[in-house]
């Protein structure tokens, strides 16, 4: 049994991670300020003797005794991270400083949940970890993109300066049960609109692409990365290299829901990347990991979840 801290532990990814850690017998401290996380995501764990929930904002220091830290705290959808962009940057930067400080004090291994957004609107396709990115530092998405880039900087400076045991993963689009229905991410948007019979909103002409990783596959990657040998820091791309256009995704959601919703095209938001696909060669080599769940199978599970959640 390990004592493990999960920041952002009641969120979409964090709650699935808590489930897996508890299932394998670890002692889990779940920390969240509930800005985007929900107690509904972890209520089934509340009575478990190995699970503890703490309301706390990572922009403030935390003093606990743990052996490992998964730092997931940060709003991850444009709707939420643009709502309070200053706080989003603080969560990434001050949160990283505070969690790295904690890891240094207690000599814990710490994993940073970074993002494919560090690549911005990429000029290289697919994106390898060696690519430095093309990011607008003053745009409406910069609070998240640059916040996460700065967090990576801090992690690697703590590694070089203090020999801290760090792990960094770069998460590409992930979907599955417990996504927030109003988070503005494309999978949840399309599914909720289709189930309600509303118009499905496609920004741009629908040709822009994303790669969609099912949540169970991503959690496998987190656990594999945390268990790699000391000194292997990453960053490692974690995502599904299958590439789909927005139009293809919309048509698949319509097929799986049986919805009669119409497709409606709107102007592409500022700084929205035109394509995104991970090169996962490093994950295959170092983690022995690659995603297993096909998009159609993952969407069926996600649609079932939203049907239940929305009572449709």
Q: Which residues are catalytic?
A: 144
CA angle, corner 25, sides to 21 and 29, nearest 5? 55
Q: Where are the beta strands (DSSP E) in the chain?
A: 3-7, 27-32, 51-55, 68-71, 109-115, 166-171, 174-175, 200-203, 209-211, 213-214, 236-238, 243-245, 263-266
Round to whole Å and give the CA distance between 188 and 181: 6
Half-sphere exposure of 117 (CA within 13 A, CB side): 28
Q: Are 225 and 171 in contact (CB under 8 A)?
A: no
Give the Å distances, CA to CA, from 180 to 100, 153, 174, 294. Answer: 28, 29, 12, 21
Q: Where are the beta strands (DSSP E) in 148-192?
A: 166-171, 174-175
3-class state of residue 77 by DSSP: coil
Identify any residues that bridge with 169 across adjacent strands, giving them in sequence order: 113, 236
Q: Which two tokens stand for residue 268?
A: 């592409």
Round to whole Å and give the CA distance between 149 and 23: 32
Q: Are 123 and 276 in contact (CB under 8 A)?
A: no
């Amino acid at each position: 049994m390990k004592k493990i801290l999960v920041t952002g532990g009641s969120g979409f990814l964090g709650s699935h991670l808590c489930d897996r850690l508890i299932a394998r017998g670890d002692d889990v401290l779940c920390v969240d300020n509930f800005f985007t996380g929900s107690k509904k995501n972890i209520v089934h764990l509340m009575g478990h003797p190995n699970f503890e929930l703490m309301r706390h904002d990572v922009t403030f220091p935390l003093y606990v005794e743990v052996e490992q830290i998964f730092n997931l705290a940060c709003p991850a959808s444009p709707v939420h991270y643009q709502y309070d962009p200053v706080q989003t940057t603080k969560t990434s930067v001050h949160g990283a400083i505070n969690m790295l400080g904690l890891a240094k004090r207690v000599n814990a291994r710490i994993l940073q949940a970074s993002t494919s957004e560090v690549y911005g609107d990429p000029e290289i396709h697919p994106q390898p970890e060696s690519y430095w990115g093309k990011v607008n530092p003053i745009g409406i998405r910069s609070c998240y993109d640059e916040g996460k880039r700065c967090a990576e900087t801090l992690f690697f400076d703590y590694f070089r300066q203090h020999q801290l045991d760090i792990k960094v993963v770069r998460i590409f689009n992930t979907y599955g049960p417990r996504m927030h229905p109003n988070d503005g991410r494309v999978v949840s948007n399309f599914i909720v609109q289709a189930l309600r019979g509303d118009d499905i909103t496609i920004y741009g002409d629908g040709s822009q692409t994303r790669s969609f990783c099912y949540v169970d596959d991503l959690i496998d990657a987190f656990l594999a990365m945390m268990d790699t040998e000391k000194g292997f820091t990453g960053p490692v791309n974690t995502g599904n290299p299958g590439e789909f256009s927005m139009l293809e995704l919309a048509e698949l959601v319509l097929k799986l829901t049986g919805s009669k919703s119409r497709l409606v095209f709107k102007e592409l938001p500022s700084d929205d990347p035109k394509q995104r696909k991970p090169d996962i060669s490093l994950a295959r080599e170092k983690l022995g990991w690659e995603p297993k769940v096909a998009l159609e199978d993952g969407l069926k599970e996600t649609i079932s979840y939203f049907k239940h959640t929305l009572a449709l």
